[in-house]
Structure formats: structure tokens, C-alpha cells
């Protein structure tokens, strides 16, 4: 579900926004910076005038999609006007735009007393707002605003009491994308070029013990990663597989979905596909 009038909540400011000013004052705006969902772009203009290397992206007001990677991404008062699926899409996009050692900052409103659609006073269109809570470090909170800092999961400090490699991904695991509850990396021992793993953050060994919401989040990420690999490598097909239990070949007791790109001629005869897990049953 999409909020087609979400852009109508953008404000024409005559000065820098409060979250952008706070991040600047704390010295958190570093390197190449992107304002994701910049609206009319006032924060970008002010910070550029101060010498910051910043550019803005907004699919309605500054629709040229950013190229390359950024050291800092700010996303201010964007998530509150989006439905959950759109919020997840934004989190994934920002994770893909960050440098491996980069940080993103999300500002969300904390003064909403009513969630849902209402008629915009100026535009007279149905605009939507909701409260948002993120599983990231909170670096500022008052009655009207909260700011979260996102660090890519493979750059976080490792937990010494957790041996699971998917609960403690290392910087050597190349991150493809991340959302609030799921991340994707390239397989360390790929079957084919672009072999990816889609992994829930919660430690669960059996796919069927995930909540429906977690399964939905995994499938959302699966589709996003498939599109990423399709654009980058242009495979002719894919295999999608989940091993559940030792007898099915599961070697790591943390749910993960294999997304394996397939290319013309990568095997002599691909007939049967995943049926080949039992070789004698591959052909029928």
C-alpha cells in the first residue's frame, strides 16, 4: 500500500531543520552526504553554503537518483508519512547507498497523537502520518522528535556470548542490503556468481518458526535482492532454496534463504532444478 500524497507534507523552510542543525552541531555530518527525501531541499542549500559535500534526493522534488556511495545519509521526517512497506523500501535503499563504514540518521516525529489519513489543510488531499519506532541506536529524543543512528549490521560490535555467524556478521561478509529485521549478504562459498543469502536478524533455526511478519519481511528483501542482482549480473534464471533441518542439509542453525543466479550453460542439463537435492529424483 502506498501513500500517493506523502510528498504534500514537505515544508518550504526559511532555515535549516532542527534535526539537520543538531546533527551538524554534534559533528555527525561527515564526508560525502546525502539528504534522502530532501523535499524542497532547504537543508541541502544551507549545508552546501557552509561547505558540506551534500546532495539531495527526493522522488518528487529532486528526482535524479543518487549515484555511488555516501559516508553519511540523513532521512528527516520521511518515514512518518509512509506505510510500512514504503518505510522498508527506504531503509533498504539507504543501506545500499551507504559506504561500508558509513552512518545514516533517521529523524521521526514524536508528537503525533493521531495516526492515519487526514485532509491536508492546504492541498485538500488525504495525507497519511504514523508513529515509527526503529531498532537502531537513539541519539536524541524530546517530545517532538527522535533521531536514530543506523550502522550497517556487519560493522556493529560483535557479541562475545553469541557464536552464531549470522547473529554476528563480520565486515568481511559483504552486505547487499538491510532492513529493520532482515539483511542480505553474498555467500562466502558461492555456487554461482551473485549467490546471496537472505537472513532474519532474530536467531531462529527453523524457517517455519518465524512469525508471519518475519517471513513477509524476508520475502520483501528477497525480491529487492533479486532485482539488484538482475540489474548487476543479468542472470537467465534463479534458484531459491531454504534448508530446514540437518537431514535437509542445513549446516548453520539460523534461518537463511539461498538466492542463486543461474546462467546459460552453468550446468550441462538444468532440468529438474531443485528436485536435484535428491539426484535420482531430478528427472521425471
Strands 32-36 and 53-57: parallel
Rounded to whole angstroms, how far apart are CA atoms 221 and 216? 9
Per-residue confidence (pLDDT) for residue 258, from 0 to 100 = 98
Per-residue confidence (pLDDT) for residue 14, from 0 to 100 = 85
Closest to 195 in 3D by CA, of 185, 204, 203, 205: 185
Per-residue confidence (pLDDT) for residue 276, from 0 to 100 = 86
* Local structure of 64: helix, strand or coil: coil
CA distance to 119, 192, 213, per residue, from 269 (Å): 59, 16, 37
Bridge partners of 238, per DSSP, are 261
User: Is 2 in contact with 117 (CB distance < 8 Å)?
Assistant: no
* Global confidence as pTM: 0.93
Per-residue confidence (pLDDT) for residue 216, from 0 to 100 = 97
Rounded to whole angstroms, how far apart are CA atoms 150 and 169? 16
Catalytic residue (choose from 7, 195, 256, 258): 256
Q: Active site includes 258?
A: no
Closest to 39 in 3D by CA, of 77, 80, 95, 94: 77
Per-residue confidence (pLDDT) for residue 1, from 0 to 100 = 65
| Below-50 pLDDT ranges, the chain | none
Per-residue confidence (pLDDT) for residue 280, from 0 to 100 = 85
Per-residue confidence (pLDDT) for residue 284, from 0 to 100 = 81
pLDDT in tens, 38-79: 999 999 999 999 999 999 999 999 999 999 999 999 999 999
The domains of the chain, with CATH numbers, are 6-151 (3.40.50.150), 175-281 (3.30.428.10)
Rounded to whole angstroms, how far apart are CA atoms 95 and 195? 19
Amino acid at each position: 500500500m502506498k501513500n500517493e500524497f506523502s510528498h504534500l507534507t514537505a515544508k518550504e523552510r526559511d532555515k535549516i531543520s532542527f534535526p539537520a542543525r543538531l546533527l551538524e552541531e554534534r559533528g555527525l555530518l561527515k564526508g560525502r552526504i546525502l539528504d534522502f527525501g530532501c523535499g524542497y531541499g532547504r537543508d541541502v542549500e544551507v549545508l552546501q553554503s557552509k561547505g558540506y559535500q551534500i546532495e539531495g534526493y527526493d522522488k518528487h522534488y529532486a528526482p535524479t537518483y543518487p549515484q555511488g556511495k555516501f559516508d553519511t545519509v540523513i532521512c528527516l521526517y520521511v518515514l512518518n508519512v509512509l506505510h510500512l512497506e514504503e518505510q522498508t523500501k527506504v531503509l533498504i535503499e539507504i543501506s545500499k547507498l551507504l559506504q561500508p563504514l558509513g552512518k545514516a540518521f533517521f529523524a521521526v516525529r514524536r508528537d503525533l497523537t493521531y495516526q492515519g489519513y487526514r485532509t491536508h489543510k492546504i492541498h485538500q488531499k488525504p495525507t497519511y502520518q504514523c508513529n515509527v519506532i526503529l531498532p537502531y541506536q537513539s541519539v536524541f529524543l524530546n517530545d517532538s522528535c527522535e533521531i536514530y543512528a543506523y550502522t550497517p549490521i556487519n560493522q556493529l560490535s560483535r557479541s562475545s556470548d553469541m557464536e552464531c555467524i549470522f547473529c554476528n556478521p563480520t565486515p568481511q561478509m559483504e552486505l547487499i542490503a538491510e532492513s529493520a529485521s532482515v539483511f542480505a549478504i553474498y555467500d562466502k562459498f558461492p555456487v554461482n556468481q551473485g549467490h546471496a543469502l537472505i537472513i532474519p536478524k532474530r536467531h531462529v533455526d527453523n524457517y517455519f518458526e518465524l512469525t508471519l511478519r518475519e517471513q513477509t519481511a524476508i520475502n520483501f528483501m528477497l525480491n529487492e535482492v533479486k532485482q539488484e542482482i538482475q540489474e548487476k549480473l543479468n542472470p537467465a534464471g534463479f534458484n531459491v532454496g531454504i534448508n530446514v533441518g540437518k537431514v535437509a542439509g542445513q549446516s548453520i542453525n539460523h534461518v537463511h534463504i539461498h538466492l542463486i543466479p543461474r546462467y546459460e550453460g552453468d550446468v550441462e542439463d538444468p532440468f529438474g532444478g531443485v528436485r536435484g537435492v535428491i539426484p535420482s529424483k531430478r528427472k521425471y
